[in-house]
Amino acid sequence: MVANLHKKALALPPAERILLAERLWDSLVDSDDAKSLALSAAQRRELEKRLKRIKKDGLTGSDWNTVKTRLRKRAK
């Protein structure tokens, strides 16, 4: 069933796929199962650590195109 849904979703135009993804995500957040999506203490600490580093040093990461190129070179 999931494979069939996935195939149908991929056949949608990009704008409709984005809308579908948003609606799926919203359905999780709005459900009673949302508690299971909560961050663990370790995840929360890591996010806080990263936010502090960003506030101190600014954004120091790479843009997506740079990362993608680097990963493709590594895969060869």
- Percentage of the chain surpassing pLDDT 90? 64
The answer to whether the predicted template modeling score (pTM) of the entire model surpasses 0.75 is no
Question: Cα–chain-centroid distance for residue 73?
Answer: 23
3-state helix, strand, coil in the chain (%, to 5): 80, 0, 20
pLDDT at 29: 77
Mean pLDDT across 51-71: 91
> Which residues contact residue 17 at a Cβ distance below 8 angstroms, ignoring those fewer than 6 apart?
9, 10
pLDDT at 18: 95
